[in-house]
Amino acid sequence: MQAEEEFAAALARALGPLYRVSVLDARGSVVTSYGQAQESRGGAREEIPLPGSSSTLVIETDVSALESADRVLHALAAPHQLMDTPLGAFAHLDDALAQLIAQAEAHVGKSLKDMSRAEKQQLVRYLDERGAFTLRKAVEKVAETLGVSRFTVYNYLDSVRA
């Protein structure tokens, strides 16, 4: 069992904080866990039986945190894309809001998950200044993305417009 635990610890270190690696015994009980991934509404879990052992390796991923990190990474990797998007520059209108949210996230400089209330208001201001809320269902999509209610987004809008 020690070899499995050492392997799990090394794998967790290699994967980073958005993952959790656990070792389960033959009954399915957690023997040990490494990493910081938190269960979230967008979590993923993979169970892998370890060859030559009765143990199972479980890898859990915080998918929503990975998606946030990916948006920020892509925005930072291509600084020329951070410039204000000219009117009509989106390839598909369906993607316009997602692109604006990614730009706003990069503008604030934090992942959506780590933003304070004030930073979320800053993100809403950024989106409002660029006309994001003229798109159909934008308030609902922004609320879902920020993990707040539509009422909260409307309050943010009232605050930043005042």
Looking at the fold, whether 56 and 82 belong to one and the same domain comes out as: no
Instruction: Write down the pLDDT at residue 85.
Output: 52
Residue corresponding to tokens 């998918």 = 63
CA-based radius of gyration for the chain = 20
Instruction: Write down the pLDDT at residue 72.
Output: 66
Looking at the fold, whether 95 and 139 belong to one and the same domain comes out as: yes
Instruction: Write down the pLDDT at residue 7.
Output: 84
In the DSSP assignment, the letter for residue 85 is P
Where are any strands of DSSP class E within the chain? 19-24, 30-35, 43-49, 56-62
Looking at the fold, whether 86 and 147 belong to one and the same domain comes out as: yes
Instruction: For residue 25, tell me if it sits in a domain.
Output: yes
Looking at the fold, whether 83 and 157 belong to one and the same domain comes out as: yes
Looking at the 3D structure of the chain, how many domains does it have?
2
Instruction: For residue 94, tell me if it sits in a domain.
Output: yes
What is the Cα 75 distance to its own chain's centre? Answer: 14
pLDDT in tens, the chain (162 residues): 688 888 888 888 887 777 888 888 888 888 888 877 665 555 778 888 888 888 888 888 877 766 766 766 666 665 555 455 554 455 556 678 888 888 888 888 888 888 999 999 999 999 999 888 888 889 999 999 999 999 999 999 999 888
Domain of 31, in residue numbers: 2-62
3-state secondary structure of 91: coil
Looking at the fold, whether 32 and 85 belong to one and the same domain comes out as: no
Classify residue 83 as exposed, middle or buried by CB count within 10 Å of its CB (0-12, 13-18, 19+). exposed
Instruction: For residue 142, tell me if it sits in a domain.
Output: yes
Instruction: For residue 67, tell me if it sits in a domain.
Output: no
Instruction: For residue 7, tell me if it sits in a domain.
Output: yes
Instruction: Write down the pLDDT at residue 84.
Output: 54
- pTM value? 0.47
